[in-house]
Amino acid sequence: FVIGIGSALVAGLFQFGGDLYPMMGIVAVFMIGQALEGMVLTPLLVVCVFFGASEPLIPVLAIPLFIAGIGSMFVSLKPFGAYKRALTA
């Protein structure tokens, strides 16, 4: 957690020049992510692995989620390019 938020804050410092609101946004995204992981994802996986299905959740969803992630990365490249051009213009 510390390495992730630290590197994100350093990147945000270079990107936004130390402006307060983007830094607060970076911290908020990390806080929401940690809360979701701790309160939703981890209990769901523990229940599925130890008390539930015969097949754990991770192997069943790993490949489809990986493919969806790669696909969404390619879909988001063009809008990100427009966003970057708008920021630098």
What residues does each domain of the chain span?
1-52, 55-89
Structure tokens at 26: 């970076």
Per-residue tens of pLDDT for the chain, all 89 residues? 788 888 889 988 988 888 889 899 999 999 998 888 888 887 777 776 666 665 555 666 777 878 888 888 888 888 888 888 888 87
Predicted confidence at residue 83, as pLDDT, reads 81
Nearest Cα to 4, choosing from 39, 35, 40, 29? 29
The Cα 33–Cα 63 span in angstroms is 22
- Model pTM above 0.75: no
